[in-house]
Amino acid sequence: MEKTYHVAVVGATGAVGAKMIEMLETSSLPIESVKLLASKRSKGKKLAFKNKLLTVEELVPDSFKGIDIALFSAGGSISKKFAPEAVKRGAVVVDNTSAFRMDPEVPLVVPEVNESALHSHHGIIANPNCSTIQMMVALDPIRQAYGLDRIIVSTYQAVSGAGMSAIKELKEQLQDMLDGKQPEDLTANILPCGSDAKHYPLAFNALPQIDVFSDEDYTYEEWKMVNETKKIMSDNQIKVAATCVRIPVLQGHSESIYIEVKDSSATVRSIQDLLLQAPGVVLQDDPSEQIYPQALNSVNKKETFVGRIRRDLDVNNGFHMWVVSDNLLKGAAWNSVQIAESLHRLGLVRVN
């Protein structure tokens, strides 16, 4: 008989949690049951899964009794505290937070790129940062064919990456502005970063801060892109720099990416041909027809969209491109469920 799994979603009431439930509904994973977990505040709330209403339960260590696969997206501190509890009770954890990403014992996985890293898991698998994932899907085929020397990326990130409360804050600010309020009278308590001292409105704005500032005046989000790229590509020599910007888009991260390849035989055409065949990539690149990826068109799609591929005007091996994906799906919920599907296919889920 085929194995069937008891699956838990931690943070089921959140922006990513809601999408995890959606992705599980259509997943090829053989699911026996789904348990929805969140904070005490959400206890008793009903959420639909495959036309059935499930009751949200309060997360406690024993929530994981009998669970085979636990998908976590309730913030780093919850993962740090509860992921080991889940593993202790026999579950394999796919964690969408940054809690374990740089732990050398924890595989950091984008299935299209480094699925085989799953073989070394000890119970926890980390889902990379949303901006890193889509960049890896687009760049790994190029790295494999031509080698990658350097990446410089600027992101244009949607507000849903900061959770439900940030979405609500932006919508209220937009309405207030349309109703005639002045920017200085807008309420801002969440963005650019809930835990930082100052908050600024995002409505009709662009904020060059995602997460708090860290070494060399780069933000944590920017460091995540640097460090996670090196880990996923298993290449400590690759040069990476990022500038991460929040823009007033609800769903879908966009990235302007500049790369320098090692092999000078690469051309725009050969890179386009590679990406046409690449798993998880949709090439949308025809300037003559004004065809290029757009955040709005990426919403609720699992793929990463690539376009505007062009040569740098001064550097021989340099290329520019525009890469877009749904941050809640490939950037979070879909990549997590895809990891669970890979674990199943590779026989790496321990069944309770």
- Interface pattern 47-66 for ligand A2P (x via CB under 6 A): ------------x-------
Q: Closer to ligand A2P at the Cβ: 3 or 41?
A: 41
Q: Is 163 in the site for ligand A2P (CB under 6 A)?
A: yes
Q: Which residues contact 276 (CB under 8 A, 6 or more apart)?
A: 283
Question: Could you tell me the smallest distance in angstroms from the CB atom of residue 286 to ligand A2P?
Answer: 36
Selected binder of ligand A2P within 164, 174, 268, 299 (CB under 6 A): 164
Q: Stretches 37-45, 107-115, 142-150, 232-240: which one binds ligand A2P (CB under 6 A)?
A: 37-45
Q: Stretches 71-79, 180-188, 221-229, 301-309: which one binds ligand A2P (CB under 6 A)?
A: 71-79
318-to-145, 255, 257, 268 alpha-carbon distances in Å: 15, 16, 10, 10
Q: Which of residues 79-138 bind ligand A2P (CB under 6 A)?
A: none
Q: Which of residues 195-214 bind ligand A2P (CB under 6 A)?
A: none
Q: Closer to ligand A2P at the Cβ: 164 or 241?
A: 164
Question: Could you tell me the smallest distance in angstroms from the CB atom of residue 266 to ligand A2P?
Answer: 39
Contact 62/37 with Cβ under 8 angstroms? no
Q: Which residue is at the shortest CB distance from ligand A2P?
A: 14
Contact 233/148 with Cβ under 8 angstroms? yes
Q: Stretches 73-81, 135-143, 224-232, 299-307: which one binds ligand A2P (CB under 6 A)?
A: 73-81
Q: Position 284: which residue type?
A: Q
Residue-by-residue DSSP string for 202-231? -TT--BS-SS-B-GGG-BHHHHHHHHHHHH
Q: Position 147: which residue type?
A: G
Spell out where 29-81 has E strands.
Answer: 31-38, 46-49, 52-55, 57-58, 69-72
Q: Which residues contact 272 (CB under 8 A, 6 or more apart)?
A: 283, 285, 309
Q: Which of residues 7-36 bind ligand A2P (CB under 6 A)?
A: 11-17
Q: Active-site residue numbers?
A: 130, 253
* Residue 281, CA atoms < 13 Å, CB-side half-sphere: 29
User: Which of 30, 107, 108 is CA-nearest to residue 69?
Assistant: 30
Q: Stretches 39-47, 188-196, 284-292, 313-321: which one binds ligand A2P (CB under 6 A)?
A: 39-47
Return residues touching ligand A2P (CB under 6 A).
11-17, 38-39, 41-42, 59, 74-75, 78, 163-165
